[in-house]
């Protein structure tokens, strides 16, 4: 079977809704017809043909959803929002179909006697039965209708939340004509801002709330007034206080999302949404999660306060700033980093041109897992800057494809993420190869220079490729547990955080760095500074992430729709316990907290730290035995990368490393706990 890559240039938004309706009706028709025929139901006559239909639907909708994130035009947005309720209805109808549920139970019961299914098929069935229950298959008819309406409402609300964040981000710009105001900004940031102004036929330098532009000002601009203006615009976006106005305010949407989630959870017999969320995760219960987060906070707070005291002292003595305001933190931190380690992200940028980073990253992955990346010539893409690669195994057999969309631009969602278009499965007796999308928002090339990445950008790229590797290198042939699918959410970040470590080690950095003009490698003295600075303010970063995680989890465990300002009250309670850095009274960060209000991290933001414990512990074995130790690499490949969601992550961890994950590994890796 000859596989083809998606033809993005042939996608017509005007035909999406009609095609979706056709696919939904076809799928429903087949399922109804097959159920009407009755038992015996088997894998071959029931699950496999439905899987084929669902896979085609997944590919169709995933490409639509992806384009809505990376090329968000008014036409596409309208089509996307029109289709969402139809998909929600379809999904709910399937999961509320008692006959469908009983057919799966029939297959499971037969397998208990005959043992005719393999471990991945068993896991897929186990997950399916769980998901039926979590969707309310046993509810009374009127309760099922209520569940369907709640689900549809949630789809629409979370989509609107994300749209408001995107629109609010794009609504604010700052054009500066007086270059003296831009003192301190690196040349690269000035060139990018000048190019942005030129694109709009304006004179001067144009700044936005997109990450590369915002961070450049917050980290380097000498003008405190400019930093303050931009900071306040950033923390108030999508709120009533936004300088672009209240039209994108997410405040009421947040309350409605939380109320809807609570209703949905209680309808299914859960006390709250956090309890419902954990039904598909590794963590056993809410107490385990809260204790886990509090234990990290307890271990980190003293050092975080010490790091902030040092920052305050440096600010007072070196910059005569007796009061550190929130818009001063990144700026003074960068000055302290420079003073202590004599290194800055901008100084490193020339050593990380895009082509060298990608070449080196692919080489690292090759050394670890034996796979090779080869560019696809002239692929169809959604933007001229997108690159596509084919991935081959050591025997030169095609494994998968990966698209890289690395630059920030208008009408593209902020942040960085990995998504999938196609999942590995058996199709017509052939392996269907997976396809992944890696999306970031880095600075694009300026003039004749290549794109130059900061080291932070490089770490982000390693992270997202780690996700993609789990999807692309899987050996599981059933989509529901293949690649990233079926992996408990609190284990999803393990491969991504694991791969980040190679961006800090000398053997890894040597492969990804080369000065874009002189072609010289990163000098030893710069590498030492980079490595020494790795854990700069690590405790402050830890408690910042714990603030997000505790806020998210407590919010979904405690939210009371009858309490006015309960969201803000919970946030303030969390901050009173774990926040060390100053904050502004105008801070409405929750209004753009897309991870939990328009992403998949509701009552699951703790997953970053949960998985980071496993990733740090896993990496400690490589550190001990060798960064490219063949035995360690082989075990990691055979467990976490090849098994997808077909096996329990804790079992895989113990199989790979012969012990349970240890929280001390993360504390040592971040320098919060002494190695000795």
Q: What is the DSSP letter of 558?
A: H
For the record, the structure tokens of 562 come out as: 């009858």
- Sign for the CA dihedral angle at 208, 209, 210, 211 comes to positive
User: Would you say 190 and 220 are in contact if contact means Cβ atoms under 8 Å apart?
Assistant: no
- Burial label for 325, CB within 10 Å (0-12, 13-18, 19+), is middle
What count of Cα atoms within 13 Å lies in the side-chain half-sphere of residue 268?
Answer: 26
Q: Are 296 and 609 in contact (CB under 8 A)?
A: yes
Active site residue 464: yes
Rounded to 5°, the CA angle 54-378-372 comes to: 75
Q: Is 323 helix (H, G, I), strand (E, B) or coil?
A: coil
Neighbours of 379 (CB within 10 A): 17
First to last CA, the chain: 57
Collect contacts of 97-103 with beta carbons under 8 A, ≥24 apart: 97/31, 97/35, 97/137, 98/137, 98/138, 99/35, 100/31, 100/35, 100/132, 101/129, 101/132, 101/137, 103/35, 103/39, 103/41, 103/46
Catalytic residue among 163, 275, 354, 464: 464
What tokens were used for 92?
């709910």
Q: How many CB atoms lie within 10 A of CB 106?
A: 16
Distance (Å, rounded) from C-alpha 41 to C-alpha 293? 45
Give the active site residues.
Answer: 464
């Amino acid at each position: 079977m000859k596989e083809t890559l998606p033809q993005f240039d042939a996608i017509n938004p005007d035909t999406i809704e009609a095609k979706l309706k056709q696919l939904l009706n076809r799928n429903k028709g087949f399922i109804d017809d097959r159920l009407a025929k009755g038992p015996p139901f088997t894998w071959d006559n029931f699950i496999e043909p439905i899987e084929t239909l669902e896979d085609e639907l997944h590919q169709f909708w995933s490409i639509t959803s992806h384009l809505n994130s990376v090329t968000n035009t008014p036409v596409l947005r309208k089509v996307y929002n029109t289709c969402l309720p139809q998909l929600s209805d379809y999904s709910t109808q399937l999961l509320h179909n008692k006959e469908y549920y009983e057919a799966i139970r029939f297959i499971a019961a037969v397998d208990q006697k005959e043992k005719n299914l393999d471990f991945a098929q068993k896991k897929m069935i186990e997950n399916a039965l769980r998901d039926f229950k979590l969707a309310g298959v046993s509810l009374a008819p009127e309760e099922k209708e209520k569940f369907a309406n709640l689900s549809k409402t949630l789809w629409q609300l979370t989509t609107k939340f994300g749209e408001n964040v995107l629109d609010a981000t794009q609504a604010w710009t700052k054009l500066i004509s007086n270059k003296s105001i831009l003192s301190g900004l690196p040349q690269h940031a000035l060139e990018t801002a000048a190019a942005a102004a030129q694109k709009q036929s304006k004179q001067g330098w144009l700044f936005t709330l997109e990450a590369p532009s915002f961070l450049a000002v917050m980290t380097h601009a000498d003008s405190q007034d400019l930093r303050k203006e931009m900071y306040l615009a950033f923390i108030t976006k999508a709120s009533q206080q936004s300088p672009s106005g209240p039209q994108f305010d997410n405040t009421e949407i947040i309350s409605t999302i939380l109320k809807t989630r609570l209703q949905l959870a209680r309808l299914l017999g859960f006390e709250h949404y956090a309890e419902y969320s954990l039904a598909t995760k590794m963590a056993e219960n809410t107490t385990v999660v809260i204790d886990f987060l509090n234990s990290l906070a307890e271990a980190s707070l003293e050092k975080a306060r010490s790091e902030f005291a040092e920052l305050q002292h440096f600010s007072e003595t070196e910059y005569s700033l007796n009061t550190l305001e929130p818009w001063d933190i990144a700026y003074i931190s960068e000055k302290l980093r420079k003073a202590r380690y004599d290194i800055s992200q901008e100084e490193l940028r020339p050593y990380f041109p895009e082509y060298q980073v990608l070449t080196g990253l692919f080489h690292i992955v090759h050394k670890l897992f034996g796979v090779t990346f080869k560019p696809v010539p002239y692929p169809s893409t959604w933007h001229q800057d997108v690159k596509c690669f084919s991935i081959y195994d050591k025997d030169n057999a095609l494994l998968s494809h990966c698209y890289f969309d690395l630059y920030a631009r208008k009408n593209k969602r902020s942040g960085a993420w990995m998504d999938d278009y196609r999942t590995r499965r058996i199709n017509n007796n052939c392996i269907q190869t997976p396809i992944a999308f890696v999306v970031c928002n880095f600075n694009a090339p300026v003039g004749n220079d290549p794109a130059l990445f900061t080291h932070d950008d490089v770490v982000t790229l390693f992270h997202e490729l780690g996700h993609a590797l789990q999807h692309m290198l899987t050996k599981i042939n059933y989509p529901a547990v293949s690649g990233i699918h079926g992996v408990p959410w609190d284990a999803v970040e393990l491969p991504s955080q694991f791969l980040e470590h190679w961006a800090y080690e000398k053997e890894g950095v040597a492969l990804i760095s080369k000065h874009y003009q002189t072609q010289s490698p990163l000098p030893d003295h710069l590498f030492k500074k980079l490595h020494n600075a790795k854990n700069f303010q690590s405790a402050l970063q830890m408690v910042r992430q714990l603030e997000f995680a505790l806020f998210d989890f407590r919010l979904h465990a405690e939210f009371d729709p009858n309490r006015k300002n309960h969201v803000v009250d919970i946030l303030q309670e969390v901050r009173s316990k774990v926040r060390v850095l100053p904050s502004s009274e105008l801070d409405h960060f929750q209004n753009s907290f897309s991870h939990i209000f328009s992403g998949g991290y509701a009552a699951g933001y703790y997953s970053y730290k949960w998985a980071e414990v496993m990733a740090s512990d896993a990496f400690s074995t490589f550190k001990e035995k060798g960064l490219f130790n063949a035995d360690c690499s082989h075990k990691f490949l055979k467990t976490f990368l090849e098994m997808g969601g077909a096996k329990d992550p804790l079992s895989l961890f113990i199989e790979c490393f012969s012990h349970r994950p240890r929280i001390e590994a993360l504390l040592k890796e971040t320098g919060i706990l002494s190695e000795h």
